[in-house]
Amino acid sequence: MISAGSDLVEPGQRLRDSEDEFETNSWLLTTAMKEAGAVAYRVHMIPENEMSLKAIVEDQLVRADLVVISGESHDDSFPLITNVLKGIGDIREIDPRIESSGLHNFGTIGPDKTPVVTLPGDPIAAYISCELFIRPMIRQMMGLHDLFRPVQKAILTNSIESESGKTTLFRALLDGDRVTVTENQSELVGLSDANCLVVVGEDMTSVKSGTEVDVMMLERRYI
């Protein structure tokens, strides 16, 4: 797991200016991959140029069966990552129809054609993409059959709205057969409080309280 971004600062260090933020993705996603069953390694770096990032990525190919990179899209990190990966492999760029998500890359790199995926820089978007895309990849590579999180029905206790044309996954709390979407959907605290995701399809813009909805369970285990 490689986290790249020029404005990212290791937790415990001082933020240099208002543009800086503490780096959370490598910690969050490495833990999520371990929970999925992988032996995951965390690598954090601030890419100064394509050469330095290329060296870090190629160094991981010695031990990795899958490389996951998280990079910002609002600065130069994502184009830098994309250019590096295209230089050492076959890469495709996509923008999934998921609300509040961002650009992704996927493909293979290096002499052994090691799978690689680039996730958005936003921690919540990156975590959701990890659950939807990376977790199934890991579990399939391990030869397991339960690739995806279980989904069940529940009654929504509070009304919600979503963007037309995109699937939305709301962080929520399931209690019996009732599910409540948490506050602070744009903040990590809303994710840490959640034990499930309420899935709203791209053809819906609002769901009223009392409606039966699909709920993706998030089993949490201590690693």
CATH number belonging to domain 2-141 = 3.40.980.10
| pTM, two decimal places | 0.88
CATH domain 151-217 topology: Beta-clip (2.40.340)
pLDDT value at residue 205? 93
Whether residue 76 has pLDDT greater than 80 = no
Tell me: the pLDDT tens digits for 98-136?
998 988 999 999 999 999 999 988 889 999 999 999 999
Q: Are strands 114-119 and 67-71 parallel, antiparallel or unpaired?
A: parallel
Q: What does the mean pLDDT of the chain come to?
A: 88
Burial of 208 (0-12, 13-18, 19+ CB in 10 A): exposed
CA-CA distance, 12 to 10, in Å (whole number)?
A: 6
What are the residue ranges spanned by the domains of the chain? 2-141, 151-217
Task: Give the model's confidence band at 222: pLDDT under 50 very low, under 70 low, under 90 confident, else very high.
Answer: very low
CA-CA distance, 144 to 30, in Å (whole number)?
A: 19
pLDDT value at residue 39? 93
Tell me: the pLDDT tens digits for 149-176?
999 999 999 999 999 999 999 999 999 9
Tell me: the pLDDT tens digits for 27-74?
889 999 999 999 999 886 666 578 888 998 999 999 999 999 987 655
Tell me: the pLDDT tens digits for 10-21?
767 777 776 677
pLDDT value at residue 166? 95
Instruction: Report residue 221: phi and psi, to 5°.
Output: -125, 145
Do 21 and 15 touch, CB atoms closer than 8 A? yes
pLDDT value at residue 223? 45
pLDDT value at residue 5? 66
